[in-house]
Amino acid sequence: SQKIEQNSEALNIQEGKTATLTCNYTNYSPAYLQWYRQDPGRGPVFLLLIRENEKEKRKERLKVTFDTTLKQSLFHITASQPADSATYLCALTYSGAGSYQLTFGKGTKLSVIP
């Protein structure tokens, strides 16, 4: 079965620096790889999606890369702010099953220190 590893359970970073979170997966490549943000007691919020034929995707201060050879995605937050503190979840989607079913990693809890 597919396994998703987010290599850091927690990450502390100084305000203004770039935060880099890692997501690794095993087995076959997904159709889509996605990143979500989750605040305590709330549902995840969709941030970015990257397709298997794409290398990089950007949205404001966020950047996602996707390397199907390494089976890895990197998620970057530039000029990080305390408001970016949250848990970030990596998720994979395989469309072959007939519905877009997401498999999630455990997440990385990011703390941006003022």
Partner 1 sequence: ETGVTQTPRHLVMGMTNKKSLKCEQHLGHNAMYWYKQSAKKPLELMFVYSLEERVENNSVPSRFSPECPNSSHLFLHLHTLQPEDSALYLCASSQERGITYYGYTFGSGTRLTVV
Q: Which residues bind partner 1 (CB under 8 A)?
A: 4, 32, 34, 36, 41-46, 49, 89, 93, 97-107
- Contacts of residue 26, Cβ cutoff 8 Å, sequence gap at least 6: 2, 3, 71
β-sheet bridge partners, residue 24:
5, 72
Question: Cβ closer to partner 1: 49 or 62?
Answer: 49
For partner 1, the closer of residues 65 and 107 by Cβ is: 107
Show the tokens assigned to 66: 């996707």
Compute the distance between CA of residue 103 and CA of residue 88 in angstroms, rounded to an integer: 14
Q: Could you tell me the smallest distance in angstroms from the CB atom of residue 21 to partner 1?
A: 15
- Least distance CB 42 / partner 1 (angstroms): 5
